[in-house]
Amino acid sequence: MSFHGQSVLPAVRDMKQLEKFLVSNYEYGVLLDNQVGMLKGIMKEVHKHEKKLIIHLDLIHGLKHDEYAVDFLCQEFKPAGIISTRTNVILKAKQRGIYAIQRVFLLDSTALKKSYELMKKVKPDYIELLPGIVPTLIQEVKAETGIPVLAGGLIRTAEEVHNALEAGASAVTTSNRELWSIST
């Protein structure tokens, strides 16, 4: 199962990547490192090109990473979704009816166990696992939670993209433009 027919979700870090995304065949992308003052122009271009962005709230400078920021983003910019490590942000995104994507860092067994408990309570629409290069953990998290998984972080080759997808990831998030052309 892919994310709206996409096996890759382009992750945009700068204006050059945004321009590349806007002329791509992809409908959905992820907005990473940016500042609140740039959002209006970015989202105007995104909507003009009939694209949809999922905003990684934790990486938007100038906004507090809380439920009020989700309300602000939804009212002002209408993103397709929100990615965050914060439970209150994920709950608010779900309440607002946009994609709620819980970012989880694979640090150790204790952190993973704690993440399972949180995800079962919050029930995000997707889980983004970082790093996304561990196929066995993609399989485990998907099986343990029943929630679709996006794989991101440290994915550097086409083979790693395919490995993540074969392990059950719905899509791979990547800012590596060379990997944006991969299709499955």
Q: Is 129 helix (H, G, I), strand (E, B) or coil?
A: strand
Q: Are strands 149-152 and 126-130 parallel, antiparallel or unpaired?
A: parallel
Domain region containing 42: 8-179
Q: Is 128 helix (H, G, I), strand (E, B) or coil?
A: strand
pLDDT digit string (tens) for 121-170? 999 999 999 999 999 999 999 999 999 999 999 999 999 999 999 999 99
- CATH number of 84's domain: 3.20.20.70
Residue 184: inside a domain: no
Q: Determine the Cα–Cα distance for residues 118 and 121; give it in Å rounded to an integer.
A: 5
The count of other CB atoms within 10 Å of the CB of residue 7 is 17
Residue 2: inside a domain: no
Residue 1: inside a domain: no
Residue 154: inside a domain: yes
pTM comes to: 0.97
pLDDT digit string (tens) for 29-75? 999 999 999 999 999 999 999 999 999 999 999 999 999 999 999 99
Domain count, the chain: 1
Residue 3: inside a domain: no
Q: Is 141 left (phi over 0), alpha (psi -120 to 50) or beta?
A: alpha
Residue 77: inside a domain: yes
